[in-house]
Amino acid sequence: MNCTYRLANKVELADQSSPYRPEQPWFLPPHRRIETIYEAIADGVTCEGGRMILITGGAGYIGAHVALQWLGNGEDVVILDNLCNSQRAAIERISTLAGKRPEFIQGDVRNRRLLDNLLRDYPIDAVVHCAGLKAVGESVREPLRYFDTNVGGSLTLCQAMAQAGVFHLVFSSSATVYGDCATLPINENCATGQPTNPYGMSKLMSENIMKSVASSDPRWSIGLLRYFNPIGAHPSGLLGEAPTSTPNNLLPYLLEVASGQRAQLSVFGNDYPTPDGTGIRDYLHVVDLALGHVCALGALRDRHGVSIWNLGTGRGYSVLEVVSAFEQVTGIKIPLRIEARRPGDIARCWADPQKALEELGWQASRSLHSMLADAWRWQCNQLGQVDVRQAN
Ligand code: NAD
Ligand code: WQD
């Protein structure tokens, strides 16, 4: 499709138009959909019902689940990803699961010309910006690359969107922007802290850019989604996190120990002021997280300025609780070694998710057991194993 579009009409669709499929319960039945009808003005072609959502980083772990939600809800999706931390196979898997192909453009979110063309050639009316680099340790070693990609990418994207007249943006932010928050649970009014690493700083800087952009022009509606600790995989076992190097995060590392790729799990500190001495985090299922994006964009359509939502469950689990739950779910014993605290780690972190519930109607519903069972199913599928013990 190589034409430009102008907004022709907006039609509110009735509830029964929802493409919710009970046999695929991971798809959210949208309670309300606004369909936007575009008209091609450059070449006389009329493209009806052509609203599309651009998902940057849509081949990655979270972006792929987000893309799947939208496709499953009958929406059209364009994915932009340079595949620096993902594979084209993810696009095939998304298509298989959704029964519908996203448009895929392999390219860099910092490429302004590419973004201009993309926003001109597709009837995109909203963007979910997941593209970015996310390894905390790597960001300490290569801060310039992190600022360039994460801050530069956000900046270029906002510039291109403003020029194209696209003002709805959902941003993948992180609870890391709170730093070591003095009060728990963490709500959106907690001051953003001083992130201890360039990755965290890059998220806070991107948030600040977006806040300034939104204050400069009332047409902007931006949702900053502060994710807590997303884990798990699609229940089909076909989509999940695929680290390309040694994992830094707890769950991907644990999965590699469970599947015999690593000898043991290091527990970083058992002397924290927590009941068992190990760090506590708010783990949430990646499918719940993806649903949060759909709800957030729905809410942004009636809002202006910047809205901030925590996406977490509101409940924390310690490292040892996660390991124990994993052992129960899979029947696999995980060899552990207690080590020193990891620099920069905090003792406890969990969300107050009330604002997302009140304003978005979103609530994480999947249990820790589901997160672990789904993650293990994905891991077994990747390794070509068939026996996923008790993973249900
Ligand atoms: P991921 O690495 O799996 O996905 C990111 C995707 O962005 C990858 O497919 C990568 O190829 C792509 N990408 C990177 N740089 C790009 C560029 N310059 N141009 C185009 N594409 C580019 O990571 P994820 O876990 O899916 O995280 C998605 C977003 O959510 C990131 O912005 C991350 O910082 C944020 N986030 C993740 C977590 C987490 O624990 N996974 C927590 C909080 C926030
Ligand atoms: C969880 C707990 C560790 C690994 C990081 C980023 C954050 C966000 C999510 C992107 C902690 C312990 C871990 C291991 C362990 N990412 N642990 N052994 O540190 O909460 O957050 O990822 O935005 O920005 O900082 O997550 O999974 O690394 O750690 O004992 O091998 O597990 O000490 O208590 P974290 P994590």
Q: Which residues contact 25 (CB under 8 A, 6 or more apart)?
A: none
* Residue reference for tokens 């300034």: 212
Kindly list the domain boundaries of the chain, sorted by start residue.
Answer: 3-391
Residue type, 27: F
pLDDT tens-digit readout, 131-183: 999 999 999 999 999 999 999 999 999 999 999 999 999 999 999 999 998 89
Pocket of ligand 2 (CB under 6 A): 134, 136, 174, 176, 229, 248-250, 253, 265-268, 279, 281, 319, 342, 345
With 80 as the cut, is the pLDDT of residue 8 above it? Answer: no
Q: Which residues contact 278 (CB under 8 A, 6 or more apart)?
A: 267, 269, 270, 272, 318, 319, 320
What's the gap in Å between 270 CA and the centre of ligand 2?
A: 14
Count of H helices and E strands in the chain? 12, 16
Question: What is the model's pTM?
Answer: 0.89
Token pair for 278: 């190990």
Pocket of ligand 1 (CB under 6 A): 56-57, 59-63, 81-86, 108-110, 130-134, 149, 153, 172, 174, 227, 230
**Mean pLDDT, residues 314-330 taken together:** 98
- How big, in percent rounded to 5, are the helix, strand and coil portions of the chain? 35, 20, 45
Question: From CA 309, how far away is CA 305, in angstroms rounded?
Answer: 13
Give pLDDT, residue 49: 52
Q: What is the DSSP string of 142-157?
A: -HHHHIIIIIIHHHHH
Among the listed ranges 31-40, 145-154, 300-309, which one has the minimum average pLDDT value? Answer: 31-40
Question: From CA 38, how far away is CA 52, in angstroms rounded?
Answer: 10
**Mean pLDDT, residues 378-382 taken together:** 93
Question: From CA 379, how far away is CA 381, in angstroms rounded?
Answer: 5
What's the gap in Å between 250 CA and the centre of ligand 2?
A: 6
Question: From CA 134, how far away is CA 140, in angstroms rounded?
Answer: 11
Confidence of residue 10 (pLDDT cuts 50, 70, 90): very low
Query: Is the CA virtual torsion 330, 333, 335, 341 positive or negative?
Result: positive
From the options 3.50.50.60, 3.40.50.720, 2.30.30.40, 3.40.50.300, give the CATH code of 3-391. Answer: 3.40.50.720
